[in-house]
A and B are shown apart, each in its own frame.
Chain A
């Protein structure tokens, strides 16, 4: 069992508090992503877990064993760095063999294990190359191979794909997810890219200013954001502010200053609270005025004027005006394309409309 648990972890750089009593646990074999804007403390968390940063408070446990004071080389943690950190003076083979040599593993077995892991990242022919003779994507895979060849209890990856171009990044997401599925190593993955996080994670932890804002499976984070920050971080979102005028279980209704009413899903809200509807472009459907309502009960329907429509290939990207509010909508190009100035009806299913407290309030630790 190699469950990773961070308990009340506190890290300060001088007067700057980077982590403020962080609590987090990753189950055995789980892949958890730390997601948050730059400077929220993701790297700091990783460095604390890997042992390069001593926390001022709190503890770290792997498989129930307290490792807070154990030096990095004795933690059994594999690391993949953002800049790959391959050793430039060693060949690919030596880069991979180094850790095995440290463990005094016989040369024959080293050869076998390096060959196996090189094959698993499809770079068998590159054993004798130096790192600088490899492309960025290949270096990335070698960095990953170097971390997993030791079969670590825990794998930590710090924005491993951020230096790759968009196409390769997308491909590598799946490769990393596949390797994780195959090996089942308990993994902590760091990124500031929400799509990347959605694709590879079993669970996402949203961080802000050293605090956990929400912790849950990707779909839950996307559908049921705990606050305005999380809602805004999970993709393009237009916020429509208003006051809560109805609460019925999960369902929540708000009314804007102009009298527009929106029904959505929210929790922890009371009548009269300031709240926001988080409108996602992909949740907005456009139709002719007065058309039949395809959505179920409680779909929000508004009249809107198309301000702009941009054809982007697979999607048409609209800017719409509802009263004094601007919203975005994205529809597949296979649907009817509406022109600029056209009056349309806009529908948003209540199930796809999160309502969150407006107090962009003090980050709330979960």
Chain B
């Protein structure tokens, strides 16, 4: 009896999750191909792939003129990948040091990383824009990347340090005791054990960068047009077009997650300990 209740509870939860995920997605898909869709019809009266063709640059757009989805997509993807690499390159050593060593003001440093999120974003970015303008970084791709790295580090450092903290120090000490230097112990023991946490941190940074709007808006415009910026600027007057962009934005996220999952499965049959 109990187990039946539990089973049906699980089933109900599954249905809710399914609807919550698939519902909006289905709506996006339908909108992206709706040529004509007036109330009170449940489904579009006329379907076409014109918006997809326009978005992919296969057909000139009458609605939005010269907006180029393909280049915006490639730009966003490139920035996101570079942001992941740079953020992790900083997060891994920083997170490890914060987790393993008694660094003076360690907690203060951790909070420093949270600081940009403790204030309303707009004033922060306006100030950053002032600094970037002076430094010649405003409206440049490196400038936008710097913003994304800054935002990504918040999660990166916190997740990586939490991951390293969860690894018992005795594992690395055991490696030292059989002759491994501090670096080898880190590289052969701590790093592979932290891999799942580090990868999820990387996914987080990647998705955050792909989605980032506010900072890019202030620092990037008008020269750096990422996909979210294009999405926001087009969604005002064309729901179909916005749906297409939203769906395209989903693609790298899903691909990245699947890839990570594959890597995790291969490296870790069932995780740690």
Contact = CB atoms under 8 A, between A and B. Distances in A.
B232 interface: no
B174 A102 contact: no
A330 to B, nearest CB: 39
B27 interface: no
B175 interface: yes
Contacts of B188: 98
B180 interface: yes
26 contacts: A71-B176, A72-B176, A72-B177, A73-B176, A73-B177, A74-B179, A78-B177, A79-B173, A79-B174, A79-B177, A83-B168, A85-B168, A85-B173, A87-B175, A88-B171, A88-B193, A88-B272, A89-B192, A89-B193, A98-B180, A99-B179, A99-B180, A103-B179, A132-B273, A146-B178, A147-B178
A77 interface: yes
Interface in A68-113: 71-74, 77-79, 81, 83, 85-89, 98-99, 102-103
Interface string B157-188: 00000000000101101111111111010001
Interface of A: 50-52, 71-74, 77-79, 81, 83, 85-89, 98-99, 102-103, 131-132, 146-147, 150
B268 interface: yes
B273 A88 contact: yes
Contacts of A131: 273
A43 to B, nearest CB: 11
Main SS of chain B's interface residues? helix
Contact of B184 (A51, A83, A102): A102
A72 B170 contact: no
B168 A150 contact: no
Interface string B172-216: 011111111110100011001100000000000000000000000
Contact of B189 (A87, A103, A146): A87
- 4 cross-chain pairs, A with B, having the tightest CB-CB distances, nearest first: A99-B178, A102-B179, A85-B170, A79-B177
Interface in B222-273: 267-268, 272-273
Contacts of B168: 83, 85
Contacts of B181: 71, 73
Given A102-B179, A102-B184, A87 B174 contact: yes
Most buried by B among A74, A89, A150: A89
Contacts of A147: 177-178
Contacts of B173: 50, 52, 72, 79, 81, 85
Given A52-B173, A73-B180, A89-B272, 9 more contacts: A73-B181, A83-B170, A85-B170, A87-B193, A89-B193, A89-B267, A102-B178, A102-B179, A102-B184
A203 to B, nearest CB: 24
Contacts of B268: 89
A131 B168 CA distance: 15
Nearest to B192: A89
Contacts of B192: 89
Contact of A77 (B171, B177, B182, B273): B177
A248 B256 CA distance: 86
Contacts of A89: 192-193, 267-268, 272
A103 B175 CA distance: 12
A150 B176 CA distance: 13
